């Protein structure tokens, strides 16, 4: 009973730190005592609990290509530990640019747009998947209360009301203006800037961050999708020495990132995987000053001080 309570508290703390944990309740008692060097006859091991980096947020579908050779050593470490696009992690196949998959990706981008952990977003998206509420029509049919319920089941409680309202507004604008197909929005946009403005105009709560998340993984799929790197990407790239510390111009930064990627023998088609890895590094480590557990610590030019 007490061990169960203690394990529950550890689980809560581990989730708050965005880590993962496993509770093990069945094992050979004597071997467990021996490993734990427990000599006291009256004491017993009731449960084991391991903690570490959360692997749920790692991509679950689609192969990640890894850079090879000396030039790509830091990129190799970055991609091996944090690489893979966010859409692939959710099993969304963006390469087909089908109306259903692009709608799914917009829904996921809206979820990712809030200051919330990737794990919670993945859980929440899975709830939308389970209930088959993924298209603008399905979202409208579900209604505000239904959406709040789905969001709460996924753990998206802090932003549930706001997000439900936003999803309804975006879905109805998408249906009215573009027949529910984001490809029509892209076709009508005159250039990158217009594309960004049209996505933002779908709903009041669609900000720069959400637009950047959405378009970043549409790069190479939609011809007009050429977003500049976000602050998190720049911060992470700077810290591991991929871009010069004093370079500010985002267009130039994008050029350097693309060149580094190509120099490591990587295809431009996979560039969103690289950006996603930098986002994870910036968001989950640099921004939290989590240098102690950072997988790129040995490559850090900032001396691991965040
Ligand atoms: S060691 Fe710290 S500053 Fe350097 S990349 Fe990692 S988290 Fe960022």
Tokens at 258, concatenated? 């693309």
Q: Residue 39: which pLDDT band, with cuts at 50, 70 and 90?
A: low
The answer to whether residue 110 scores a pLDDT higher than 70 is yes
- Beta bridge partners, 219, equal 222
Cα dihedral 54, 57, 62, 66 sign? negative
Residue 249: the pLDDT is: 95
The CATH number covering residue 96 comes to 1.10.340.30
Ligand 1 pocket test, pick from 53, 297, 301 with the greatest ligand atom count within 8 Å of Cβ, gives: 297
Residues 236 and 192 both lie in one domain = no
Q: Measuring from each residue's beta carbon to the nearest atom of ligand 1, which residues come in under 6 Å?
A: 239-240, 281, 285-286, 290-291, 294, 296-297, 300, 302, 304, 306
Residue whose CA is closest, atom 8 of ligand 1?
286
Residue 59 domain-assigned? Answer: no
Question: Whole-structure pTM over 0.85, yes or no?
Answer: no
Task: Give distance in angstroms: CA of 301 to centre of ligand 1.
Answer: 8
What is the residue-wise DSSP string for 237-268? Answer: HHHTTSS-TT---HHHHHHHHHHHHHHTT--G
Question: pLDDT by residue (tens digit) across 153-194?
Answer: 999 999 999 999 999 999 999 999 999 999 999 999 999 999
Residue 48: the pLDDT is: 74
- Indicate the average pLDDT of the chain: 86
Task: Give distance in angstroms: CA of 243 to centre of ligand 1.
Answer: 14
Higher pLDDT residue, 277 or 42? 277
Q: Choose among 121, 59, 57, 115: nearest CA to 92.
A: 59
Residues 130 and 184 both lie in one domain = yes
Residues 107 and 183 both lie in one domain = yes
Residue 258 domain-assigned? Answer: yes
Task: Give distance in angstroms: CA of 281 to centre of ligand 1.
Answer: 8
The answer to whether residue 53 scores a pLDDT higher than 70 is no
Structural domain containing residue 284: 70-85+228-299
Task: Give distance in angstroms: CA of 289 to centre of ligand 1.
Answer: 7
Residues 112 and 203 both lie in one domain = yes
Give how many domains the chain has, as a whole number: 3
Residue 71: the pLDDT is: 55
Task: Give distance in angstroms: CA of 75 to centre of ligand 1.
Answer: 14
Residues 90 and 155 both lie in one domain = yes
Residue 65 domain-assigned? Answer: no
Q: Choose among 83, 82, 159, 85: nearest CA to 124.
A: 159
Q: Choose among 89, 79, 83: nearest CA to 57.
A: 89
Q: Residue 108: which pLDDT band, with cuts at 50, 70 and 90?
A: very high
Residue 58 domain-assigned? Answer: no
What is the average per-residue pLDDT within 269-287? 92
Residues 170 and 241 both lie in one domain = no
Residue 188 domain-assigned? Answer: yes
Q: Residue 117: which pLDDT band, with cuts at 50, 70 and 90?
A: confident
End residue of a domain, out of 216, 247, 271: 216
Residue 283 domain-assigned? Answer: yes
- What Cα–Cα distance (Å) separates residue 282 from each residue in 11, 69, 71, 118, 275? 25, 25, 22, 13, 10
Residues 283 and 251 both lie in one domain = yes
What is the average per-residue pLDDT within 259-266? 87
**Minimum-distance ligand 1 atom for the alpha carbon of 297:** 1
Ligand 1 pocket test, pick from 53, 235, 240, 306 with the greatest ligand atom count within 8 Å of Cβ, gives: 306
Residues 99 and 119 both lie in one domain = yes
What is the average per-residue pLDDT within 190-209? 94
Q: Choose among 162, 89, 79, 169: nearest CA to 123.
A: 89
Residues 158 and 183 both lie in one domain = yes
């Amino acid at each position: 009973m007490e061990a169960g309570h203690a394990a529950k508290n550890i689980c809560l703390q581990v989730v708050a730190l965005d880590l993962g944990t496993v509770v093990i309740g069945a094992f050979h008692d004597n071997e467990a005592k021996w490993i734990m060097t427990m000599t006291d006859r009256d004491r017993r091991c009731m449960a084991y609990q391991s903690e570490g980096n959360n692997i749920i947020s790692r991509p679950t579908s689609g192969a990640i290509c890894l850079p090879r050779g000396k030039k790509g050593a830091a990129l190799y470490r970055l991609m091996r530990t944090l690489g893979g696009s966010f859409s692939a992690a959710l099993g969304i196949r963006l390469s087909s640019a089908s109306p259903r998959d692009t709608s799914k990706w917009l829904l996921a981008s809206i979820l990712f747009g809030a200051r919330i952990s990737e794990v919670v977003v993945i859980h929440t998206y899975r709830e939308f998947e389970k209930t088959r509420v993924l298209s603008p029509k399905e979202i409208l049919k579900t209604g505000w209360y239904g959406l709040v319920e789905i969001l709460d089941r996924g753990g998206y409680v802090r932003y549930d009301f706001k997000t439900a309202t936003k999803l309804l507004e975006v879905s109805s604008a998408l249906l009215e203006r573009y027949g529910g197909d984001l490809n029509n929005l892209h076709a009508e946009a005159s250039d990158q800037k217009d594309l960004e403005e049209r996505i933002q105009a779908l709903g009041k709560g669609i900000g720069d961050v959400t637009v950047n998340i959405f378009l970043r993984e549409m790069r190479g799929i939609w011809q007009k999708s050429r977003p500049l790197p976000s602050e998190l990407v720049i911060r992470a790239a700077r810290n591991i020495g991929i871009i010069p510390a004093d370079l500010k111009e985002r267009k130039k930064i994008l050029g350097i990132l693309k060149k580094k990627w190509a120099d490591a023998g990587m295809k431009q088609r996979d560039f969103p995987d690289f950006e996603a890895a930098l986002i994870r590094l910036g968001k989950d480590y640099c921004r939290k000053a989590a240098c102690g557990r950072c997988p790129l610590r040995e490559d850090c030019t900032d001396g691991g001080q965040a």
